[in-house]
Amino acid sequence: MNIFLTGATGFLGGRLIRNLLEDGHTVYILARNLDKANTLKENLPFSLQGSVNILQGDIVQPNFGFPKRIVEQLMNKIDIFYHLAALVKFDHDLRDTLMEMNYQGTKEALKVAENIGADKFIHVSTAYTVGVSNQGEEKLYDLNQGFNNPYEESKALAEHEVFRYQDKMDVSIFRPAIIVGDSKTGEADSAFTLYGFMRGLELFKRRLERKASMEKVHLVGSKNGTSNLVPVDYVADILTIAATEAKKNTIYNVINPAPPTNREILNTIKHHLKFDDLGIYEKGTSFLLSPVEEQLNGMLNVFEPYLDRSISFADTNTQELLAESPVAHLNMTDEVLNIIVRAYFEPNMGKVHV
């Protein structure tokens, strides 16, 4: 098939493209940065490079800024349109940028997909459109519910926009939870989510070391709260199956059915960071933060909504999708968590670029 992708040069996109190429498909990728796209192509096996077509454009521009001849070349040629492009940041002061990239960008992607006659539109969203609720379902959420940040809200708005096109082409939505490195090697290419959190702890530890102050410090959160981590290879494999098996007008939660607790994650990070003087104050209990602890929690405040809760996600649709495939339902062991965290702090173990 001929497959068009946005966000192809991102953390997940690169893995998905290789899967699709190995399955014999031809891909057309939208690239704002041609150097990055060419590097992606050159790093593929030579036998696959001829099936990659790079088109320079911008997700937020009408028709992606393509000249008329490019649009005409794509007309009635694309079987599947994957929309992965997104900005993953939780800062409230980036609201306008997040809305432009994640919401308006999705609007433009849908318009382009319709204009060129794509048969199927696969939208990659996030499990955290669940907002402030602790019950994740495989359906559209009410836009009047509460959201923790403009990232979640922008992605929820985009999901509703996707379903407005269900009479014009087959649409489906895939909602990965927190995407982390490869389950076998830990290899990653991300500065967001778990990696941003680990980077913050690493920088803070260095600051304490420079001050020769290694007093016990605490994050505020829930020790038994969970963080829903999903390896990038699992997500890419599911999206690859989606090319032929995704049902129209269907939402798939791509989640970890048995996510690690915050205590387990923090203990693993502490071990590899060699930061034994780090603990957790249970939110809702009585404690007094020291000035140093206030600095630490201030540095990591964008992650606060995810450190004191346990969300239960349904993924019945995803399990049905996997039922007849060679991909098993996720079983992320302690060993896999250790591989992923270790690969960040010991980059020679895998290829981690953050």
Over residues 314-337, the pLDDT tens digits come to 999 999 999 989 999 999 999 999
Whether residue 190 contacts residue 179, with contact meaning beta carbons closer than 8 Å, is answered with: yes
Residue identified by tokens 């957790």 is 280
Residue identified by tokens 């007094």 is 288
Whether residue 275 contacts residue 204, with contact meaning beta carbons closer than 8 Å, is answered with: no
* DSSP notation for 255-319: --SSPPBHHHHHHHHHHHHT-TTEEEEETTS-----HHHHHHHHHTGGGGGGSS---EE--HHHH
In angstroms, the Cα distances linking 183 to 236, 322, 330, 342, 346 are 12, 18, 10, 12, 16
- Residue at 53: amino acid letter: N
Q: Which residues of the chain have pLDDT under 70?
A: 214, 348-354
Instruction: Look at residues 167, 316, 172 and name the one whose alpha carbon lies nearest to residue 248.
Output: 172
Instruction: Look at residues 260, 271, 266 and name the one whose alpha carbon lies nearest to residue 346.
Output: 271
For the chain, what's the residue count?
Answer: 354
Instruction: Please classify residue 81 by burial: count the beta carbons closer than 10 Å to its beta carbon, then call 0-12 exposed, 13-18 middle and 19+ buried.
Output: buried
Instruction: Look at residues 267, 176, 164 and name the one whose alpha carbon lies nearest to residue 223.
Output: 267
pLDDT of residue 349: 53
The answer to whether the predicted template modeling score (pTM) of the entire model surpasses 0.85 is yes
Cα 270 to Cα 13: distance, rounded to the nearest angstrom: 30
Whether residue 58 contacts residue 65, with contact meaning beta carbons closer than 8 Å, is answered with: yes
Whether residue 249 contacts residue 166, with contact meaning beta carbons closer than 8 Å, is answered with: yes
Helix (H, G, I), strand (E, B) or coil at 177: coil
pLDDT of residue 348: 64
Whether residue 259 contacts residue 226, with contact meaning beta carbons closer than 8 Å, is answered with: yes
**Domains defined for the chain, CATH in brackets:** 2-176 (3.40.50.720), 193-226+260-309+338-349 (no CATH)
pLDDT of residue 139: 97
Instruction: Look at residues 123, 106, 105 and name the one whose alpha carbon lies nearest to residue 170.
Output: 123
